Amino acid sequence: MSRERFAEQVVLITGAASGIGAHLAERFATEGARVALLDVDEAGATAMAQRLPDALAVGVDVSSRAAIREALDLVRERWGRLDIVVNNAATCSDTPFDRIPDHEWERDLAVDLSGPYRLVQEALPDLLRARGNVLNIVSVNGLTHFGNESYSVSKAGLMALTRSLAVTYGPQGLRANAIAPATIVTPIWDDRLERDPHVLDAATKWYPLGRLGQPDDVAHAALFLCSAEASWITGTTLVVDGGLLAGNALLADDIMAQG
Ligand SMILES: NC(=O)c1ccc[n+]([C@@H]2O[C@H](COP(=O)([O-])OP(=O)(O)OC[C@H]3O[C@@H](n4cnc5c(N)ncnc54)[C@H](O)[C@@H]3O)[C@@H](O)[C@H]2O)c1
């Protein structure tokens, strides 16, 4: 297999200062891509970009159309093309449904769902010219209930948008896919770890493969879906979850014990 599946290609990744997005930036760059790292954390994105051979960091809040336009102009000026957009930035309210305030609900929808809508809409001419790819990082939360309602409905909506883009723009050569990870060890867990240092250990027992995910687990799937190897795959959501959604062994054990 070629080590440079993305030579010459320009990949734009949102939320690229941290966690999965930062790791994706490194992995795409390792395979020859030029990478635009967009993040509300401009200093973090800049630090990441400095580690890559040909990268651009832009401080962007993806809920702002004006900020997205400015970032896309910088990408066009620098490289004159855009092949892949990875919608990865997200926020996630932990407030229970009966107490979630409007501003948290609306922030999650604005960042997690409307951000990708605005970015893909603005980047569409470039992506169609490139016969390129949209990759949306969603979540198992968009497929079944694990709490975090504002986040989960956004991710479910983003899966619907993925299918819509695939069907509408497939005839022009654009592919759109999604990855739905379960628990991946990244800084998104920091607040919860502060409240309960054992939260990740407690989660491990739910995973048939006996471990939590790492950013590289998502990266393998992401690079595959955006590569020529996946040229007949579009509109799909690939679950990357260590078997979490395949079944519920603890429930099965309980039922068998009572049988
Ligand atoms: N880590 C997990 O367990 C997990 C599970 C399922 C899905 N995901 C998804 O993976 C993606 C990456 O998550 P992560 O775990 O790497 O999180 P993370 O918190 O490490 O990184 C998220 C990044 O998004 C940036 N960001 C937040 N709001 C933004 C905005 N308005 N505009 C631009 N950037 C913004 C943050 O600054 C941060 O750098 C998210 O879409 C998340 O929903 C993560």
Report how far residue 129's alpha carbon sits from residue 161's, in angstroms, rounded to the nearest whole number.
Answer: 20
Is the minimum distance from the CB of 114 to ligand 1 under 6 angstroms? no
User: Ligand 1 center to residue 154 CA distance, Å?
Assistant: 13
Q: What is the mean pLDDT of residues 155-177?
A: 98
- Tell me the domain boundaries of the chain: 10-186+212-244
Instruction: Say which CATH architecture domain 10-186+212-244 belongs to.
Output: 3-Layer(aba) Sandwich (3.40)
Asked if pLDDT for residue 1 goes beyond 50, the answer is no
Sheet (strand 55-59) strand order: 55-59, 34-39, 10-14, 84-87, 133-137, 175-181, 237-240
What pLDDT score was predicted for residue 213? 98
Shortest-distance atom of ligand 1 to CA 89: 24
Residue 226's contacts (CB-CB under 8 Å, 6 or more residues apart) are: 6, 11, 84, 86, 133, 135
* pLDDT tens per residue across span 179-235: 999 999 999 999 999 999 999 999 999 999 999 999 999 999 999 999 999 999 999
Cβ(218)–Cβ(240) under 8 Å? yes
Q: DSSP E strands: which ranges in the chain?
A: 10-14, 34-39, 55-59, 84-87, 133-137, 175-181, 237-240
At 89-126, the pLDDT tens digits run 999 999 999 999 999 999 999 999 999 999 999 999 99
Nearest to 86 by CA among 237, 222, 218, 231: 222
Q: Is the CB of 212 under 6 A from ligand 1?
A: no
Of all protein residues, the one whose alpha carbon is nearest to atom 19 of ligand 1 is: 188
If you measure from the C-alpha of residue 89 to the centroid of ligand 1, how many angstroms do you get, rounded to a whole number? 5
Torsional sign, CA 180, 183, 186, 191: positive
Most ligand 1 atoms within 8 A of CB, residue of 186, 206, 207 to mutate? 186
Alpha-carbon separation of residue 79 from 7, 36, 38, 93 (angstroms): 13, 10, 15, 36
Q: How many Å lie between the centroid of ligand 1 and the Cα of residue 112?
A: 9
CB 54 within 8 A of CB 4: no
Which of 101, 118, 8 has the alpha carbon at shortest distance from 63?
118
CA distance 14 to 59: 10
> What residues are labeled active site?
151, 155
Confidence tier at 258 by pLDDT (50, 70, 90):
low
Q: What is the pLDDT averaged over residues 146-165?
A: 98
250 pLDDT higher than 60: yes
Q: How many of the other CB atoms lie within 10 Å of CB of 187?
A: 12
Residues in the chain: 259
Q: Which residue is closest in CA terms to ligand 1's atom 7?
A: 139
Please state the separation of Cα 22 from the chain's center in Å: 11
pLDDT of amino acid 257: 79
Mutation to probe ligand 1, out of 40, 143, 216 (largest number of atoms < 8 A from CB): 40
